[in-house]
Amino acid sequence: MRLLVTGGAGFIGSAVCRRMLGDPNISLICLDKMTYAAIPEAVAEFTAGGRAVVEKVDVADRAEVARVFRAHRPDAVMHLAAETHVDRSIDGPGAFVQTNIVGTYTMLETAREYWRGLDASARAVFRFHHISTDEVYGSLGPTGKFAEGTRYDPVSPYSASKAAADHLASAWHRTYGLPVVISNCSNNYGPYQFPEKLIPLTILNALEGLPLPVYGKGENVRDWLYVEDHAAALETVLRRGRIGEKYNVGGGAERRNIEVVRAICDLVDELAPGPRPRRELIAFVPDRPGHDLRYAIDAGKIQSELGWTPSVSFEQGLRRTVQWYLDHADWWRGIRARLYRGERLGLSPTDAA
Ligand code: NAD
């Protein structure tokens, strides 16, 4: 199978590429604009075997995306490319609209044109897998879970742009018959996550003895999933998901942010002892505007229909992740020096794009 993965140079995309290349029958095209969030080191790992190529292309560039389809003739597409950081979407929503909405539209239109030109047997196996987030559902109160039928109610510019993209993907199936499948996943963590997100930022600040910012009172709840479990779920949905369906993916590991930060402090104390307990570095800071209180996923459909369940507990995954950041200091030190030092983003309630 020739598999086109957009956003394959990012955190989840690179985990997907590593995993899919475990199948010797797969060759892979990674289409990625290589923004600040791309990880050249992760790309170097999965291109080393010679079965993956990188096309440095913007998903919103119709001519270039069409060239990639013509040149590589994919059997399936996994569309992960996106702007992904909620705080950045508050400061500058324009890039989110452009990449997540216009880019998804461009991918769908180009895929549709290409798919219509395939012969009947190739057309029957082609898949367009659109990868999305549970944030499209908005915020939960203290109880309940997001199911596939939960009404969309996005709050941030990021989640609104992803919601729009999901609706486009669904419309391209319902209107044009494009064989689309959609998955919506909870918060991921693990190796190679850009250190602007809660878990890697906290690990690095703890290692460097810097304040550990916790938004509001740290009461916000997320349902955490180890990235390799997400990659396994995505492979399952691509191969066995029913066309036109959507699947929620979650780890069944709800934690309050403050619990996550304290757990990281304790792991860093254990694995890299410092002069004082890292919990003393915790600093409560003004909350994110429009901060969703709680996300929780009902993953019953993917479990019962496709047989996927997470294999890594939150405690195991967090330990692995802290150890991974300890073992890859060269990687993150470069990012902290050149790209992002850990400063607060996303406090502006107005468009600074
Ligand atoms: P990431 O920010 O780590 O990586 C995004 C990748 O997309 C980068 O390699 C970047 O260069 C590329 N990209 C950005 N704009 C592009 C453009 N215009 N054209 C081509 N490539 C572009 O993101 P991630 O955390 O790996 O998330 C991947 C996907 O999974 C996204 O669609 C996201 O919405 C979804 N998702 C993420 C999470 C999470 O917890 N991280 C959870 C659920 C769903």
Mean pLDDT of 94-107: 98
Q: At 291, is the pLDDT very low, low, confident or very high (cuts 50, 70, 90)?
A: confident
Task: Decide if 96 contacts 89 (C-beta within 8 A).
Answer: yes
Which ligand 1 atom sits closest to the C-alpha of 158?
A: 34
Q: Is the pLDDT at 62 greater than 50, yes or no?
A: yes
* Residues near 341 by beta carbon (within 8 Å), at least 6 away in sequence: none
**Residues known to be catalytic:** 134-135, 158
Q: List phi, psi (to 5°) of 304.
A: -80, -35
pLDDT of 353 above 50: no
Residue 142: phi and psi, rounded to 5, are -65, -20
Residue 341: predicted pLDDT: 79
CA-nearest residue, atom 13 of ligand 1: 81
Q: Which amino acid is at 263?
A: A
Distance (Å, whole) CA 64 – CA 238: 24
pLDDT tens, residue by residue, 166-223: 999 999 999 999 999 999 999 999 999 999 999 999 999 999 999 999 999 999 999 9
pLDDT at 132 over 60: yes
Distance 14 CA to ligand 1 centre (A): 10
Tell me what pLDDT residue 349 has: 54
> How far does the centroid of ligand 1 lie from the alpha carbon of residue 10, in Å?
6
User: Taking all residues of the chain, what is their mean pLDDT, rounded to a whole number?
Assistant: 95
**Tens digit of pLDDT for each residue in 258-286?**
999 999 999 999 999 999 999 999 999 98
User: Average pLDDT, stretch 50-55?
Assistant: 97
pLDDT at 344 over 80: no
pTM of the model: 0.96
Ligand 1: which of 5, 16, 45, 80 to mutate, most ligand atoms within 8 Å of CB?
80
Q: Which of 127-131, 137-141, 285-289 has the lowest mean pLDDT?
A: 285-289
Q: What is the pLDDT of residues 151-169, one digit of tens each?
A: 999 999 999 999 999 999 9
**Which pLDDT belongs to residue 348?**
62
Say if residue 5's pLDDT is above 60. Answer: yes
Mind listing the pLDDT tens digit for each residue in 208-244? 999 999 999 999 999 999 999 999 999 999 999 999 9
Q: What is the pLDDT of residue 320?
A: 98
For 243-282, b where at least 16 C-beta lie within 10 A, e where not — what string? eebbbbbbbbbbbbbbebbbbbbebbeeeeeeeeebeebb
Pocket (CB within 6 angstroms of ligand 1)? 6-7, 9-13, 32-35, 37-38, 58-60, 80-84, 99, 103, 131-133, 162, 185, 187-188, 194
Q: Give the pLDDT mean for 23-32.
A: 98
Q: Which atom of ligand 1 is nearest to the CA of 193?
A: 3
What SS3 class is residue 249?
Answer: strand
Give the ligand 1 atom nearest the CA of 225.
40
Q: By the 8 A CB rule, do 27 and 49 touch?
A: no
